[in-house]
Structure 1
């Protein structure tokens, strides 16, 4: 019968924790603690056997002899003694375990060369910038295979329509494969997504081959304690945590990135997950429970999943921040910093954008180590026509309908969501197949509208600036700016929806008479000389 006292539970006298199991006996002088750690049961059995092998009549040392010798110092509370613990029953002391340092951690401060990248007002590196350019010499006609990508990835890129690398891809892929932090700047449509997606997957293959992902294969036992008489029915595989993270400012851009990364990753056995807001969270949680290698998402939803303890970023070795400047403009600077601090310290960081300015200095200074900078001309492509039409207020609706019928596939940009809905309805009433895309729509509606436009079921996409970055639709022939942008950066991103991947495009900006001076200043800042800057009336020949 058990007895209970105030100080806790006392086991009965006939209690035998390993009843029915024969303890292992060790020969005299044999080390009962094998290499790699001993089972607690065997260790206790070793103590019993050692005590039984002692000569008869020999007693343990008196209590006074167990005390430290005179002059020795006792360890304070919470302080560990550097001397090895004395052995019990003649058993040699177990050597202290030595942990090898992690290869993914950042070097000590005295070995780390801090590099701060400072951009000037024009987006160029300032005089105090210590960021370096790449010293690699890559042939101008190098293929993806010559840049270091494997056969499966090269074949998948060919299926995606990327037969030869663009300049930004040729410049950044070797440095990403080498594990270097990269700052990449290139105009929209220059192939930045493939520039970080393809080498990221190849880099993960190298890390996996070197043993960086060894923890994924180690099974672990269930944390639930076993009751008396129960047996461990086996082990289950450890949930595979992500090793790479790609951050995007908007849901559309995250989905666009996933459409490129997913086939590349699947070609070599990696899996991706889209973690964006505006959609149910349960399917995303289930995907994480099944195991994910690459996470692509927005900062808000990723932070939410981290706080719910459903997403573990402590094994993320490579992090990509796409459209880093726009991320800061939307107020995501602090969330991005918190997310990056949850990843492996000293991991590889890649920042890509069409424009890099002072807003990203905080991220570069804290997280990037000696980054390599690659810049491609950020101005609009030469094969894109730019025209500005000065239109009276009462003629604007008729002009927009005429421009929507001018080309087969057109994107119309507006400043507000309400005006986007009004223009889409007006074009539909005029017999033009159009869809709207803005932030007030549910994510499923936005995806359906974008799919209709991409598949050719709608000729015109009326959108706010939510579609100005990262949205890639093949063969967009015309971009109409129903509301002129306020910044040259926004103009370049809008104009980048056409004339992509070497195709020809056209950009028409509709402005009132009161915006002529501001528009000219904006175009000068963007480095664009429009072919036409004139008055326009409905019915006039385009």
Structure 2
């Protein structure tokens, strides 16, 4: 059993079905019940760029998390050093014209662009603005059917449009090697989300290192930016993401 994008599985909409699936799987390490001589056991592989503490607690109900073997790279939770990170402090009303200028100044050979918004309504609203300015784009958000989302992303990969306006649905598990610019039109709510969005550029197979441009509007955005800038300058991991699947936090901690 492979649990991919582990931190996304801790979203409240997924936890209950995840626990139901785990309850029906005879997990290899510490699974309850008698083990017969021919009884097969399920191995579990947990994959993610970030590990949430809640995952250890969930898995601990069904197996011995202390027996998991952890494999990670030295760059875990670190921003890719070859990708430029740029932050623009703006008032909310200045975000649309700043985005339009950014898109119109990009050369045709500048690669594809991902524009991240924090809600489906903003994706749709921003799409209307791009339509008004004759900027060819596609939109991807969670209110669309799974089949529609798959078709839209396939069109984007084929190069049918150079710009994809999206929610965090597009920040994980998708091949975005053609993307050379990520724009955080809405600044993400967490450092984990920023790391996943920034990971859409500078990927293996990309023709250029790429860049991330973030619009910073709110006071709480600034707090996250300071942490990101410090981690980038010191070449350290982003704070608050050093949890291990083997060591769940103490209860009540």
Tell me, in whole angstroms, the C-alpha distance in 2 between the residues paired with 1:495 and 1:381: 8
User: Any conservation in 2 of the 1:386–1:529 contact (CA below 8 Å)?
Assistant: no
Q: Which residue of 1 aligns with 2:93?
A: 394
Q: CA RMSD in A?
A: 2.2
State the secondary structure of the residue aligned to 2:71.
strand
TM-score by length of 2: 0.76
User: CA contact under 8 A between 1:433 and 1:458: conserved in structure 2?
Assistant: yes
1:335 is matched with which residue? Answer: 17
Q: CA deviation at 1:513?
A: 6.4
Give the number of aligned pairs: 211
TM-score after normalising by structure 1 = 0.37
- Matches of 1:513 and 1:438, distance apart in 2: 23
**Where does residue 70 of structure 2 map in the other structure?**
373
Of 172, 180, 183 in structure 2, the residue corresponding to residue 480 of structure 1 is 183
Distance 1:443 1:337 in 2: 23
Mapping of residues 198-213 of structure 1, within 5 Å: none
Q: CA deviation at 1:468?
A: 1.4
Corresponding residue SS for 1:355: coil
Secondary structure at 2:232 match in 1? coil
Aligned residues of 1:349 and 1:368 also touching (Cα < 8 A): no
Bigger radius of gyration: 1
Structure 1 residue 419 corresponds to structure 2 residue 122 = yes
User: Cα deviations across residues 211-266 of structure 1 (Å, max 9, x unaligned)?
Assistant: xxxxxxxxxxxxxxxxxxxxxxxxxxxxxxxxxxxxxxxxxxxxxxxxxxxxxxxx
Shift of 1:382: 1.2
Structure 2 partner of 1:323: 5
Using the alignment, how far apart are the partners of 1:330 and 1:471 within structure 2? 22
Judge conservation of contact 1:486–1:522 (CA < 8 Å) in 2: no
The reply to whether residue 359 of structure 1 matches residue 54 of structure 2 is yes
Give the conservation status (yes or no) of the 8 Å contact 2:111–2:178.
Answer: no
- Conserved? CA contact 2:81–2:232, under 8 Å: no
SS of the counterpart of 2:86? Answer: strand
- Distance in 2 separating the partners of 1:339 and 1:396: 43
Aligned 1:73-112 pairs, distance under 5 A = none
Structure 1 distance, partners of 2:169, 2:9, is 12
1:350 is matched with which residue? 45
Return the offset for 1:521. Answer: 3.4
Q: 1:401, CA displacement in angstroms?
A: 1.3
Contact 1:380 / 1:528 at 8 angstroms: preserved in 2?
yes
Question: How far, CA to CA, are the matches of 1:486 and 1:516 in structure 2?
Answer: 8
* 1:491 equivalenced with 2:194 (yes/no): yes
Distance in 2 between residues matched to 1:345 and 1:451, nearest whole Å:
35
| 1:123-202 equivalences in 2 (<5 Å) | none
CA contact (8 A) 1:487 1:522 kept: no
Answer yes or no: is 1:384 the counterpart of 2:83: yes
Describe the shift of the 1:442–1:345 C-alpha distance in structure 2 as closer, same or farther (beyond 3 A): closer
Query: Structure 1 residues 368, 454: CA separation in 2 closer, same or farther (over 3 Å shift)?
Result: farther
Select the structure with the greater relative contact order (CA < 8 A; seq sep ≥ 6).
2
Distance 1:470 1:500 in 2: 12
Deviation at 1:514, TM superposition (A): 4.0
SS in structure 2 opposite 1:500?
coil
